[in-house]
Amino acid sequence: MKLSQLPLVLLLISNISSQHTEARPKVTIKPDQHVFRGERVTLRCDIYSWRYSWYKDGSDTVFSDKQEHAFSSVTESDAGKYSCSGSEREGSRTSHISEEVTLTVSDKATAVLGVSPQTWLNEGDPVTLICEVNSSSTGWTFSWFSLLLSGNSNHYNPLSDSSRGSGGHYSISSAALKHTGVYVCEGERGDPVYNTWFSNKQLIWVTGVSPPVSLIISPSRTQHFTSVSLSLSCEDQSNSRWTVRRYTDSWRWLEDCSSSSSLSGSQTGSTCTIRSTITEDTGVYWCESESGEKSHPVNITVHHGVILESPVHPVTEGESLTLRCLYQHSTSPNLRADFYKDESLIQSQTTGMIISNFSKSHKGFYSCKHPEKGESPKSWISVTASHSGSQISVLHTFTSVLTVSLYLLVTVVLIYKCCRMRAESVEEQ
């Protein structure tokens, strides 16, 4: 071959190569590579001004020739590995086949609701509800609801002060008694809109400083044996009508004591009576008025065997707390047992435990355990500020204000006298 012919040969090789070695196209999937059955999904192949060919799972069969291929309602059978290639509309050049992109299709999406820092709160505490969609985080916005009881039915009531957003957080800066209740969330994305299932239910209960009504429980403890009578009453100083309401762990819905689902319960006035307790009566109970006012909630546990005798309401700071371990099947129910706080042993082999000066450091989950009879459920015991402490604080504030007022009064009087003396001095001159 003559050297003069070499550039021509290189040009021919370049032309042949250019017909088959264009840049590799890129596949994108909207709204995400992990989607859920029923969503609208779009595959897009990006090479400007070319024809397109779509392939699935390595097959050389073209199933679509559009730049965007949409599944109006994706199913599990659409899951797989997708790739595309392009060819020039007015020419003979073709591209490489793109890298494969995997489309995963799961069953109907479900939102998951969590609470931070905890579900049991004191009035004034901050709390945040966190809504997520398992295995997926792209493009979701969220709605928030509280569970509302109407008659014997539960309904999801949109929170009026919640705002939609992609963050998945709903925050309450200062919890109040009115925030006691059951909450759920829901996610959505896409166009047309695709909604998740409602999330799991999360109960938040708030202990207030001065509730408008108190829930009185007889016997006065949070844990109770099965097959016994239990009385719950709403007591206040007004003529308001109060109803005992509960959210049970077993059924996961709101109900009144007089509802048809409470087969052993009845309500007379503001008093609820459960004639024969069963483990399904375990749940959170509170008093609620027709206007939505609420009492301190009480977490009641019904258990057979060993239970912990603990107070119904939070312990006042500085007061003593007495705990006992009781056994259902004994003529002398008081057991010699071990006592635990937050699963750590704090006192062993005693018929009762006394904390003489209860403080914030003592709040937590308490339980007791007998080596043969078994272990009680856990009870959350919290603390409230002492009334005397509040009085001292008010007295201190009053004293401070009075001192400042007297100081200002004396200062004004002295200034007045000084000015008057100066005026008299000028007149004498």
Task: State how far the Cα of 27 lies from the Cα of 53, in Å rounded to an integer.
Answer: 12
Residue 394 lies in a domain: no
Tell me, yes or no, whether 30 and 150 share the same domain. Answer: no
- In this prediction, residue 291 carries a pLDDT of 83
Tell me, yes or no, whether 244 and 306 share the same domain. Answer: yes
Tell me, yes or no, whether 120 and 92 share the same domain. Answer: no
**Contact between 205 and 121 (Cβ < 8 Å):** yes
Residue 420 lies in a domain: no
Strand partners, 316: 384
Task: State how far the Cα of 311 lies from the Cα of 358, in Å rounded to an integer.
Answer: 13
- pTM to 2 decimal places: 0.76
Helix (H, G, I), strand (E, B) or coil at 89: coil
Residues in CB range of 145: below 8 A, 6 or more apart: 156, 157, 158, 159, 183, 184, 185, 186, 198
- In this prediction, residue 14 carries a pLDDT of 40
Residue 309 lies in a domain: yes
Tell me, yes or no, whether 371 and 279 share the same domain. Answer: yes
Tell me, yes or no, whether 102 and 147 share the same domain. Answer: no
Task: State how far the Cα of 424 lies from the Cα of 429, in Å rounded to an integer.
Answer: 9
Helix (H, G, I), strand (E, B) or coil at 377: coil
List the CATH number of the domain containing 199: 2.60.40.10
Residue 222 lies in a domain: yes
Q: Which two tokens stand for residue 425?
A: 């001095």
Tell me, yes or no, whether 261 and 378 share the same domain. Answer: yes
Range of the domain at 200: 111-207
Q: Which two tokens stand for residue 232?
A: 């719950």
Q: Which two tokens stand for residue 169?
A: 């957080």
Tell me, yes or no, whether 203 and 226 share the same domain. Answer: no
Residue 413 lies in a domain: no
Residue 390 lies in a domain: no
- In this prediction, residue 329 carries a pLDDT of 87
**Contact between 311 and 222 (Cβ < 8 Å):** yes
Tell me, yes or no, whether 176 and 117 share the same domain. Answer: yes
State how many domains the chain has.
3
Tell me, yes or no, whether 222 and 310 share the same domain. Answer: yes
Task: State how far the Cα of 336 lies from the Cα of 406, in Å rounded to an integer.
Answer: 61
**Please, where are the H alpha helices in 231-367?**
none
Residue 415 lies in a domain: no
Per-residue tens of pLDDT for the chain, all 429 residues: 444 443 433 333 344 344 444 568 899 999 999 999 999 999 999 886 688 999 999 999 999 999 999 999 999 999 999 999 998 877 678 888 999 999 999 999 999 999 999 998 888 999 999 999 988 888 999 999 999 998 778 999 998 766 666 679 999 999 999 999 999 999 999 989 999 999 999 999 998 777 788 899 999 999 999 999 999 999 875 667 889 999 988 888 899 876 644 556 787 888 999 999 999 999 999 999 888 889 989 999 999 999 999 999 889 999 999 999 999 988 777 899 999 999 999 999 999 999 999 999 999 999 999 999 999 999 999 888 875 444 444 344 444 445 545 656 656 556 666 666 665 555 555
Task: State how far the Cα of 211 lies from the Cα of 177, in Å rounded to an integer.
Answer: 8
- In this prediction, residue 31 carries a pLDDT of 94
Tell me, yes or no, whether 291 and 315 share the same domain. Answer: yes
Residue 405 lies in a domain: no
Domain boundary among 78, 106, 134: 106
Tell me, yes or no, whether 203 and 218 share the same domain. Answer: no
Domain boundary among 191, 207, 223: 207
- In this prediction, residue 303 carries a pLDDT of 96
Tell me, yes or no, whether 100 and 126 share the same domain. Answer: no
Strand partners, 149: 154
DSSP 114-136: EEES-SEEETT--EEEEEEETTB
Could you give the C-alpha distances from 282 to 17, 220, 320, in angstroms and in order? 76, 15, 27
Looking at residue 54, its amino acid is W
- In this prediction, residue 416 carries a pLDDT of 61
Looking at residue 78, its amino acid is D
Cα within 13 Å of Cα(128), Cβ side = 8
Helix (H, G, I), strand (E, B) or coil at 374: strand
